[in-house]
Chain A
């Protein structure tokens, strides 16, 4: 019985040691996600923003990371089937579901200069005059140097 208790004790101390090793060490690697901030007054688009066909708008958002930013990518696609990957809490008023004929599609990546930890990105985006109006998703992705990615899905309307 004594041997057994000794064994258990040994085991528990091993387990404690293991737990200790994996928990308390300060992590030497970057484990922080980059951040997309659209709270600034001049940030655009925001949840439920409206853009007009045949005109341009300025995409403006603030990106930050604890170590170094990687790149930004923007994807605008239709939401006529009302799928949802909005990461915003408040829902927008949706139009009726419909079939897409010539939906507005924009896929654009924006590499960022090396060494940035905070950056306000401003890009002109033109909306063609002949695209289908309706509900769209404006999907913003940002990575940091380590490969962590943050995605923000914003619901917008094309008028």
Chain B
């Protein structure tokens, strides 16, 4: 289908939206109080029929103007209070008095209640999953992304103790946007050997959006977005906090996260410190074969995979009736080792005595990452507008350390004249300045969002190894998104977005001479690996969607175009990646990647059971792909196989299925299934799949939530995950056999002398099964996944001063 046809459809739909717009003038006003009769300010009140929203003022009063006669559903929502929902019919002006009840056990927990999540799902035409802090605590993995892996359609690609990047329906790296506190998280997204710099204890809730989400998030949101939201602001006049303690058996991890928060009427603060330390992780084997070379493991431990991470977070802000402004300051730091026998795929002879002396030390090779962020989020509400502004600065600083190895034409000894430290193989320093501005406008049945995103990146490199040149990048995008409530059952969505971006690569010249073969004569030359290059990109994307919710039925459909600007690595790589013995060659002529995606979702919610099926179809006219060629390169690639960035047509389809059934009040079962198929339709790898395609999998769960005396929220739950073999591969992958794993989760809450304790226990890979993960960085060297891991976590929330 051509772009112009879609543009036509879009314009027609937009005109229809406008024709439906008409107005009458009724008023709905009222006041909101708590059980003690005190007025409640900052209550968010929405009228669902027309997507109107307002917040109550200091006296608890609110008001909607210019309403039409008809039926409405009103909902009132305030942190630490139970959600209030009521149906009402408007035939003339009306006044209401609303009463909100405080939530029990309400401390620093996420307030998003199930029916709000339900509402969010029913009003979003893309596939959305929302998980809250309790899901994170229940399924706590090695990292936030690893924790999310339980959700259908989510996988991770990673290394070691959970350091991983998300894959949404098989696409990852720069094809998934991760948003943290309203800002796109910018690290080294393209790398598979490190994780995302996020602290899972600091996450309030996570919203996962599957589908063509570029129209909101801009470049990169081809597969979708993962929106990590901060903990909600504390209730007025409270002072409290929580202590989290965590221990894991597999890598002997221990850690803590301490949180303190407080608020008067208008000002609040929230501070958190997290610290985790872990040793080498264990696998259920005593020997691994790296390129047929047998590596003995000491105590089943992967040599030198220990690490430590810390996170510091501070937020403070001003909250009032129509204006709020919050500053978020955070710094995450991590240092971890690489598996010493396979840094790169080269099983270099390692000093096993040195490494095996302690399972907790971090020797070479290792990596260190620091991510600093400061973000301000402000919103201002007036008349039918809600203005939102985000301003942010972040710096990602990552270094890879390794003993000097003279690969290729590098001199046998590291020259003393070099100013780069001898153990610094690579360094990446990224500084990002960004601004987002949005206006949410309520116009009758329309809820319009217009927005602007600006971002500037400065990237520099360091180290004696070279993969990607230094670069600067500027991007700007503007969008308009309209949500139209046609009637109580039907919502229509339409969006249009334009982006402009410029990327500027800087020249890089080798610090050592290569022996360049020019017509049979070897000439020493410090080769230019990357030349100065400036490219600019334009893109117009759109999205159309609908929601139909009637009684128990939920239907969704969405079609949209997404895009991605080629990254510096794809345009300017020119070096040997000794992880794969590949000489990676960028292509300065790449076009922006485009993607068209069709999404459906059908759900049925009965009293005892619910089902949801979400199929999708995705087509790329020019997927950017790192193609292993049949050539070797002597001059630039030190004799290694040439991998070249190319663009090809790609088709993908798949589906997720979720089924829940309550046997009786306390016992329920859940089935989550996912399937994905990808195929390259053109180019030299025509007929092959895409790299890192997750195999089909099925998760069967049984949950028991007993009501036990003296205990609350008790649960006992078993997950059986069955993963099919992945036999569709593309060079240089290997076929991966299927496997089964069992995870168990249990937890409860209890009080000792009025102090609450929240205990959760997990057993991951209960039977210590030995299996390979097709999407692991270590898959190519046949390294099995982590063995049995018992995770114990205890949360101790405390309240020093409770709101009256």
| Across-interface contacts of B698 in A (CB, < 8 A) | 15
Complex Cα gap A146–B730 (Å): 9
The answer to whether B349 touches A81, judged by C-beta atoms less than 8 angstroms apart, is yes
Which among A8, A83, A105, A153 is the interface contact of B349 at CB below 8 angstroms? A83
**In the complex where A99-B413, A141-B640 touch, is A18 in contact with B696 (Cβ < 8 A)?**
yes
Complex Cα gap A11–B611 (Å): 11
The answer to whether A143 touches B657, judged by C-beta atoms less than 8 angstroms apart, is no
What's the dominant secondary structure at chain A's contact region? Answer: mixed
Which among B408, B659, B725 is the interface contact of A23 at CB below 8 angstroms? B725
The answer to whether A151 touches B661, judged by C-beta atoms less than 8 angstroms apart, is no
Chain B residue at minimum C-beta to C-beta distance from A103: B412
Verify if A44 is at the interface (C-beta below 8 Å from B): no
| Across-interface contacts of A105 in B (CB, < 8 A) | 409
B492 CB to nearest chain A CB (Å): 31
Verify if B93 is at the interface (C-beta below 8 Å from A): no
The answer to whether A71 touches B292, judged by C-beta atoms less than 8 angstroms apart, is no
Interface positions of A from 85 to 112, Cβ below 8 Å from B: 85-87, 99-103, 105, 107-109, 111
Verify if B51 is at the interface (C-beta below 8 Å from A): no
| Across-interface contacts of B412 in A (CB, < 8 A) | 78, 100-103
Chain B contact residue count (CB 8 A cutoff) = 52
| Across-interface contacts of B627 in A (CB, < 8 A) | 147
Verify if B293 is at the interface (C-beta below 8 Å from A): yes
| Across-interface contacts of B657 in A (CB, < 8 A) | 11, 14
B575 CB to nearest chain A CB (Å): 15
Interface-located stretch among B237-245, B431-439, B588-596, B630-638: B630-638
| Across-interface contacts of A14 in B (CB, < 8 A) | 657, 673
Verify if B628 is at the interface (C-beta below 8 Å from A): yes
The answer to whether A147 touches B346, judged by C-beta atoms less than 8 angstroms apart, is no
Complex Cα gap A77–B348 (Å): 14
| Across-interface contacts of A71 in B (CB, < 8 A) | 630-632
Chain A residue at minimum C-beta to C-beta distance from B295: A84
The answer to whether A84 touches B347, judged by C-beta atoms less than 8 angstroms apart, is yes
Verify if B731 is at the interface (C-beta below 8 Å from A): yes
Provide the A1-28 mask, 1 if CB < 8 A to any CB of B, else 0. Answer: 0011001100100110011001100011
| Across-interface contacts of B725 in A (CB, < 8 A) | 22-23
**In the complex where A100-B412, A147-B732 touch, is A85 in contact with B346 (Cβ < 8 A)?**
yes
Verify if B727 is at the interface (C-beta below 8 Å from A): yes
| Across-interface contacts of A11 in B (CB, < 8 A) | 657, 659, 671, 673
Chain A residue at minimum C-beta to C-beta distance from B659: A7
Verify if A53 is at the interface (C-beta below 8 Å from B): no
Complex Cα gap A87–B289 (Å): 11
Provide the B626-668 mask, 1 if CB < 8 A to any CB of A, else 0. Answer: 0111111110001111000000000000000101010000000
| Across-interface contacts of B677 in A (CB, < 8 A) | 22
The answer to whether B631 touches A143, judged by C-beta atoms less than 8 angstroms apart, is yes
The answer to whether A147 touches B685, judged by C-beta atoms less than 8 angstroms apart, is yes
Verify if B767 is at the interface (C-beta below 8 Å from A): no
**In the complex where A70-B630, A147-B628 touch, is A85 in contact with B638 (Cβ < 8 A)?**
no
**Residue among A3, A85, A86 with the highest chain B CB neighbour number at 10 A:** A85
Which among A19, A28, A107 is the interface contact of B634 at CB below 8 angstroms? A107
Verify if A59 is at the interface (C-beta below 8 Å from B): no
**Residue among B408, B630, B661 with the highest chain A CB neighbour number at 10 A:** B630
The answer to whether A75 touches B413, judged by C-beta atoms less than 8 angstroms apart, is no
Chain A residue at minimum C-beta to C-beta distance from B729: A31
Complex Cα gap A141–B576 (Å): 15
Complex Cα gap A40–B311 (Å): 60
Chain B residue at minimum C-beta to C-beta distance from A28: B687
Verify if B506 is at the interface (C-beta below 8 Å from A): no
A11 CB to nearest chain B CB (Å): 6
Chain B residue at minimum C-beta to C-beta distance from A70: B630
Verify if B675 is at the interface (C-beta below 8 Å from A): yes
**In the complex where A146-B630, A149-B641 touch, is A29 in contact with B346 (Cβ < 8 A)?**
no
Verify if B581 is at the interface (C-beta below 8 Å from A): yes
| Across-interface contacts of A108 in B (CB, < 8 A) | 634, 639
| Across-interface contacts of A141 in B (CB, < 8 A) | 581, 632, 639-641
Chain B residue at minimum C-beta to C-beta distance from A89: B292
The answer to whether A7 touches B661, judged by C-beta atoms less than 8 angstroms apart, is yes
| Across-interface contacts of B405 in A (CB, < 8 A) | 83
The answer to whether B732 touches A83, judged by C-beta atoms less than 8 angstroms apart, is no
Provide the A65-78 mask, 1 if CB < 8 A to any CB of B, else 0. Answer: 00000111111011
Complex Cα gap A18–B724 (Å): 9
Interface positions of A from 135 to 152, Cβ below 8 Å from B: 141, 143-149, 151
The answer to whether B348 touches A19, judged by C-beta atoms less than 8 angstroms apart, is no
Complex Cα gap A149–B727 (Å): 18
Interface positions of B from 466 to 489, Cβ below 8 Å from A: none
The answer to whether A73 touches B630, judged by C-beta atoms less than 8 angstroms apart, is no
Chain B residue at minimum C-beta to C-beta distance from A106: B639
A67 CB to nearest chain B CB (Å): 11
Complex Cα gap A134–B627 (Å): 38
Provide the B274-306 mask, 1 if CB < 8 A to any CB of A, else 0. Answer: 000000000000000001110000000000000
Interface positions of B from 334 to 366, Cβ below 8 Å from A: 346-349
Chain A residue at minimum C-beta to C-beta distance from B633: A109
Which among B293, B515, B630, B732 is the interface contact of A145 at CB below 8 angstroms? B630
The answer to whether B413 touches A86, judged by C-beta atoms less than 8 angstroms apart, is no
Chain B residue at minimum C-beta to C-beta distance from A80: B412
**In the complex where A4-B609, A19-B696, A22-B696 touch, is A74 in contact with B639 (Cβ < 8 A)?**
yes
B303 CB to nearest chain A CB (Å): 15
Verify if B728 is at the interface (C-beta below 8 Å from A): yes
**In the complex where A3-B609, A23-B727 touch, is A109 in contact with B639 (Cβ < 8 A)?**
yes
Complex Cα gap A87–B347 (Å): 10
Verify if B187 is at the interface (C-beta below 8 Å from A): no
**Residue among B629, B641, B685 with the highest chain A CB neighbour number at 10 A:** B641
Chain A residue at minimum C-beta to C-beta distance from B634: A109
| Across-interface contacts of A84 in B (CB, < 8 A) | 293, 347-349
Interface positions of B from 412 to 461, Cβ below 8 Å from A: 412-413
Verify if B695 is at the interface (C-beta below 8 Å from A): yes
| Across-interface contacts of A70 in B (CB, < 8 A) | 629-631
Chain B residue at minimum C-beta to C-beta distance from A105: B409
Which among A3, A100, A101, A111 is the interface contact of B631 at CB below 8 angstroms? A111
Verify if B393 is at the interface (C-beta below 8 Å from A): no
Which among A22, A82, A99 is the interface contact of B727 at CB below 8 angstroms? A22
Complex Cα gap A149–B632 (Å): 10
The answer to whether B629 touches A147, judged by C-beta atoms less than 8 angstroms apart, is yes
Verify if B688 is at the interface (C-beta below 8 Å from A): yes
Chain B residue at minimum C-beta to C-beta distance from A21: B677
Chain A residue at minimum C-beta to C-beta distance from B684: A147
A99 CB to nearest chain B CB (Å): 7
Which among A18, A28, A72, A149 is the interface contact of B628 at CB below 8 angstroms? A149
Provide the A102-130 mask, 1 if CB < 8 A to any CB of B, else 0. Answer: 11010111010000000000000000000
| Across-interface contacts of B633 in A (CB, < 8 A) | 109
**24 intermolecular pairs with C-beta atoms under 8 Å apart:** A11-B671, A15-B698, A18-B696, A22-B677, A31-B729, A31-B735, A71-B630, A71-B631, A82-B349, A85-B348, A99-B413, A100-B406, A101-B412, A105-B409, A107-B408, A107-B639, A111-B632, A141-B581, A143-B630, A144-B630, A145-B630, A147-B630, A149-B731, A149-B732
Known pairs A8-B659, A147-B627. 6 more at Cβ < 8 A?
A15-B698, A19-B696, A31-B735, A74-B639, A86-B293, A100-B406
Chain B residues in the interface with A (C-beta under 8 A): 291-293, 346-349, 405-406, 408-409, 412-413, 515, 581, 609, 611, 627-634, 638-641, 657, 659, 661, 671, 673, 675, 677, 684-685, 687-688, 695-696, 698, 724-729, 731-732, 735
Interface pairs A-B: 3 shortest CB-CB:
A70-B630, A147-B628, A73-B632
